[in-house]
Amino acid sequence: MRRALVPLLLILSLVLLGANLYQWQTARLSPRRVIADRFIEVWALQPDTWVANRFMGISTLQNPMDAWVTLEIINDVKPDVILETGTYRGGSALLWAMFLEHVNRKGRVITIDIKHQAFEARTHKLALERIEFLVGSSTSAEIVEAVGERVKGKRVLAILDSAHSRDHVYEELKTYAPMIPVGSYIVVQDGAVCGHPLDNPPCPGPYEAVEDFLAETDGWVAVREHERHLMTSNPMGYLKRVR
């Protein structure tokens, strides 16, 4: 009987330990933050939330809260070029281009992906006029050279939404940061993975890439005020060049 109780007591102890650790962790956060984190944990896992988003009928995998903030930043910066890594179907490139048309009539979008998937988006009149689609890795020498030639002398704003591993995002940050002028931004998307607060991979992810990048420079800051809607997929992800 005693031997049978040992595994049961061990399991019970581990459960209680986990519960205590959770209570200790959440106690350090404000009730507002706990609620916001729990909401995004539930929201992000639903098949009919962000996954179902469309813009002009095209799949657009964006958190609407963050998309709104990004549009505000575009309005403030009024970039000549929006550089997007991670095209997917092209819905987000169309969204940025449509808004950019109203704040900088000469503005253009350059969007990069390792796959050619934006078949429908490419046919839109807006895309033909304002979007350039590049196919290849955002960190390959060929793509970086092509982008550098196109943005030389331009006011650039970057949105990083390709592979979300720490190493890839860090390499993107190091590669494209010199192309961004003072006062403009790099928006690093999907830092919410890997425990910030979503418990899903990749780990380490964009959040850790931002931490490492900021630790090496005093020319950039994470503008946490842009996370004011609380439910953000981009914690620590609104990076402004200050010098």
Looking at residue 35, its pLDDT comes to 87
How many beta carbons lie within 10 A of that of residue 227, not counting itself? 19
Structural domain 51-241, CATH architecture: 3-Layer(aba) Sandwich (3.40)
Q: Model confidence over 224-233: pLDDT tens digits?
A: 999 999 899 9
Average pLDDT over residues 123-151: 97
73: nearest Cα among 206, 227, 207: 227
236 — alpha (psi -120 to 50), left (phi > 0) or beta? left
CB 242 within 8 A of CB 222: no
Confidence category of residue 139, pLDDT binned at 50, 70, 90: very high
In the structure encoding, which two tokens stand for residue 165, read together? Answer: 């591993």
Looking at residue 45, its pLDDT comes to 86
Q: Model confidence over 23-59: pLDDT tens digits?
A: 444 446 688 888 888 888 899 888 899 999 999 999 9
With a pLDDT cut of 90, the percent of the chain lying above it is 79
Looking at residue 36, its pLDDT comes to 85
Q: Model confidence over 144-160: pLDDT tens digits?
A: 999 999 999 999 999 99
E-state strands within 14-115: 54-55, 58-59, 81-85, 108-113
Where along the chain do its domains lie?
Answer: 2-45, 51-241
The span from the CA of 2 to the CA of 52, in Å, is: 54
The span from the CA of 53 to the CA of 50, in Å, is: 5
pLDDT at residue 15 tops 60: no
